[in-house]
Each structure stands twice: as C-alpha cells, then as structure tokens.
Amino acid sequence: MNAPSQARERGVSHDVSTLYATYRAPIERYIRTLIRNSHDVEDLTQDVFLRAACALGRMGPDLHVRAWLYRIARNRCLDFLRRQRVLHFFSLEGP
C-alpha cells in the first residue's frame, strides 16, 4: 500500500500531490534563505517532499503538516550544510 492511501486510512487528509501543490513554494523560499545555490535548493525541496511522502503513512490524524514540512526542510538543510563543511575541510583545493 502506498503512503497516501495509508495516510487516508489513518485520517490524514493530505496526499503528496496536495502537499506539494500547497507547500512547494513556501518550502522552497525557506530553503533558499539557508542555501544559496539554486540547483541545491531544487534538490533539497524535492527531497523534503520525498521524505514526507515516505513518512506520511506513519503520521497520525493530529499532524500539523506545515510545521512538519518545515522541520523536514530545516533538518535536510542542516545535514546539507554539515556535509558541505566537511567536504570543504577535506578538499585538496584551497578555500
């Protein structure tokens, strides 16, 4: 069974396409405040919704979707920035 149908069974009224249509632009703007590269912003935005789609079936009916998506976005950006810092530290090129 896919995540949207599991979510409907659990009482969550949002499916992935509705979440994407409603929250893509605000989530992308939020990510853009943390990450400057437009390609990385697009990738991270898509990753946020992919992770949301995978977890939607595990969420309960009292889910605060907007806050949940922003939390996923924040965590993904922090992971991305941490990874960039480590890569920069270990790169053979100068600063």
Q: What is the pLDDT of residues 48-80, one digit of tens each?
A: 999 999 998 888 878 899 999 999 999 999 999
Given a cut of 90, is residue 1 above it in pLDDT?
no
User: With bands split at pLDDT 50, 70 and 90, how would you rate the model's confidence at 39?
Assistant: very high
Given a cut of 80, is residue 32 above it in pLDDT?
yes
Lowest-confidence region among 23-32, 33-42, 44-53, 82-91: 82-91
**What's the pTM value of the predicted model, to 2 decimals?**
0.76
Residue 12 CA to residue 75 CA, distance in Å, equals 23
Q: What is the pLDDT of residues 3-20, one digit of tens each?
A: 444 444 444 456 888 999
User: At a CB cut-off of 8 Å and minimum separation 6, what does 58 contact?
Assistant: 6
